[in-house]
Structures are given as structure tokens and as C-alpha cells.
Amino acid sequence: MPLAPALLNLLHETFPVGALSIAEAERLAYAYDNSRLNALPDAVVFPTEHAQVEALVRACRAHGVPLVARGRGSNTTGATVPVQGGVVASFERMNRILRIDPDNRLAVVEPGVLNGDLQQALLPFGFFWPPDPTSAPWCSIGGNLACNSAGPRTVKYGSPRENTLGLRAVAGNGEGFRCGTYTSKGATGYDLTRLLIGSEGTLALITEATLKLTPKPSAVRTLRATYRDVGSAARAVARIMAQPVTPCALEFIDDVALKLAHDHGGDSVPLAGAMLMIEVDGEPATLDSAVDAVAAAARGDGLEELRVAQSAEETRALWAARKALSPAQRTISPNKINEDVVVPVSHLPALVDGIKQLSAKHDVLIVTFGHAGNGNLHVNLLPRDDAERARAHACLADVFALVISLEGTLSGEHGIGMVKRAFMPLALEASTLALMRNIKTAFDPDGILNPGKLLP
């Protein structure tokens, strides 16, 4: 349904020529994200300042029109698909790094700044922002915050929630506000910053973020361990995380994933029952002892080979299997179902074993890999035809039930969006969901912000 003329007039008053579009081609470009789901918005706007966002929210609220914030659309859950039409606000033009402050270990950025661009800007100062999703070269800070998206470094440095000091935002009632601090300590009122991070644009639209920076370690060492079977590798993860040295990356790749990567990437990818990719960072004076401690924990029953890279070239070679995984999966199934469940690390062996059993039970190919140091695994179901697709969806429900039974939860970094909404009552009890709905109502009384997402 086209927007009411009165609302269009308000939008034209707020956004200059070129910053508002109702053309079908432009609307189609903002109708989908990496989930492959799509729905056509009625208009797309491109804010460049906080005041425009306040005016936009007030206008949409006054006319009861849905409003969906969008970063770069790299999420896999349908979180930015405008399922009820309305207006998509693309923050790609709010892409300024406003301040880099090494003395206070912080940076202030707009939401459209790309993660990779921020990391490059921080390099001369000797700092980095720890969240490192695979999509870092093209995903935005705003999107990282909306979904609490992280990556391999989370095991040591934490997710966006642990690396964000404060936010500026506009709630669904049209009121702008600031939350958080410019300091590393703060005990003043409710922590709205952590509440907004991971809320997927359902509570407020973020217009500025104050990020906590971390000094960049001067050295990194890469290890690759192959194992007889997935259980041996999973038990090694638990041993590594039970000793004092925390790796900055601890990645798990199962046997099915290794075979796919080997077929795609060649002999540089080993064939084994499972593999761990491990990185340890620090200063040269202490790095050798840290690597020795992690290597000792990696050794144990089922270990086949443990290699430590001695050069940058060898490091790239060791990571070849992980790099080959995504293109390899696409050759098998363009309709893969990519989930990112998470369990306590001590339960990782049971999760890996249970997924193997579910793959056999439902006769569906499942590739499992991911951030094992957090217990966060990417479970990729690869249906190749309609019959397998139906079995895959039944299998997915069993995967989630298994995860919950192991004290885990539905998502470690992708978020809920549309695709996992129906499973939220499995993960959270009714009283918890009721509190969440009350919070949603407080921020967004008329429910205009990203409707049809996150809460069932």
C-alpha cells in the first residue's frame, strides 16, 4: 500500500532530494537481506544526522507506519526484511568516524561505519575494536550492535555488549536519548546500552555509538590440530578453555566440513575426523609459553597432528580449510539453513554428538563448524531438493530442542529476526517473554519499529 500523501510530504520536508525514494527499483534493493527472505517496503530513506531520525520516527508513529532500520543487510535471520511494508531507514550514509581517543580508549562512530573501515582507521593508533564477524569488510557497526554480532575473537575479548560504552538513539516514541558513559566504569541507573545491543532495531534506532577500544597485541601465533573424530576435538576444546591461557580464536570444523573444503580447496585442506584452528596473541616475551600451554591442552586422546605456523605464509595455509568452507557449501546447497546455536563449552561434546545423530535420523547433510571457544557452533543444514528441505526443517526443531536441553540458547551472534521467532518460547519462559514485551511497549508504544521480528 502506498504511503499516505501527508506522510510523504513530511518525509520530503525531512529528507533532501536523493535521500528519499519510492521508486520500485530502489525499494527492491532494500527488500531483502542475506536470509534470502524479502518483502517490499513502501519507501526508503537515507538519514545523515540524528535530527532526521527523530523527525522520521515521529512521522511514522503519527501515521502508524512500520519503520525498519538497516545497516548493510548482511544478517542471516531476516532481521532487516520489512515484512509489513512501511519505511526502510538505511544508515549507510551516516558513516563518519567522529572521534578516535586513544587516551581514553574509545571511538565515537555513526552506525553506518563499516567494521573493516573502523579497524583500518584504528591501526595507526595501535588499537582495535574486538568484534570481528566474518562479514567485517562490508557489515556496519550499527548492524553489529543491533544483532550483537561478533566472531572468533569473542572467546577472549567479548561481543559488542562488552565492547560498547554508550549509545545515542531514538526510541519508537520519537524521543532521542543518550545512554551509557564515556568511562570504563559506571553505576548510574539501568544499563540501557546493553539492552539496546541485540534488540534488532525493535526498541530504538541507534544514531551514534561510543566504542571501547583494546590495544592491538604485537604478535599472534596460529596452531592447527586434527583429531580422529569430532568427540576428541570437542573434548580438546573443553580442556583448552579449562586452563589459564585464553586463545583469541578457537574454531571447530567437523569431518563433513573438512571433506567439503578439501574437495573445493585441494590438498592444503587436511582430511580428518575434526579440526581445531587456534590463535594465541600477546607480547613476544610471553607468547611462547602461552602457545605451549594451549598446545599441551590440545594434546590428548584422538589427536592426529598438531602444527604451529612459523610464518605468515604458513598461517595463511593453515587457515585454508576455514576460508574454503563457504564457497564449498554453496556448491552443495543454495538453500542451506545456517544456524548459530551456543551451549556451555563443557557440553560441546554432547552437542556435536547429538547433531551427528540428528543428521542420521533425518537423513539430512549437516556441516558443523564455528567458534568452539564460546560453545557457539554454526550448524549448517544442506538440503538438496524439496524432500530434503522438508526433513531439514523438522531436523532444525530437534537441533534447537537438543541445544536447550544442554543449557544452551538459540543464537550466539546471528540474532533471532524472523527465522527463529517461533522457537523463542522454547528458549525463554512465558514470564521472561512478558517482561520483554513490556520493555518493547515502553520504548515503542505503537509497535512501529521492526514489527514481526524477535518476539513471538
- Common-topology check for domains 218-323 and 333-441: yes
State pLDDT tens for residues 132-170: 998 899 999 999 999 999 999 999 999 999 999 999 999
Q: What separation in angstroms does the CA of 449 have from each of 37, 104, 206, 306? A: 19, 34, 12, 50
Q: What separation in angstroms does the CA of 82 have from each of 11, 96, 287, 339? A: 18, 26, 48, 21
307 pLDDT more than 90 = yes
CATH 3.40.30.10 applies to domain 218-323: no
Q: For 377, phi and psi rounded to 5 degrees?
A: -110, 140
Sorted by where each begins, the domain ranges of the chain are 5-92, 94-215, 218-323, 333-441
Topology adopted by domain 5-92: 3.30.43
Whole-structure pTM value: 0.95
Residue 38 in contact with residue 81, Cβ under 8 Å? yes
Q: Is 410 helix (H, G, I), strand (E, B) or coil?
A: coil
CATH number of this structure's domain 94-215, picked from the four choices 3.30.465.10, 3.30.1330.90, 3.30.428.10, 3.40.50.150: 3.30.465.10
pLDDT band at 397 (very low <50, low <70, confident <90, very high): very high
Over residues 190-207, mean pLDDT = 98
Distance CA(29)–CA(100), nearest Å, equals 33
Q: Over pLDDT 70: what percentage of the chain?
A: 100
**Pairing mode, strands 43-45 and 87-90:** parallel
Distance CA(335)–CA(330), nearest Å, equals 8
Q: Is 27 helix (H, G, I), strand (E, B) or coil?
A: helix
Q: Classify 333-441 by CATH class.
A: alpha beta
Residue given cell 579497524 in the structure block: 119
State pLDDT tens for residues 9-36: 999 999 999 999 999 999 999 999 999 8
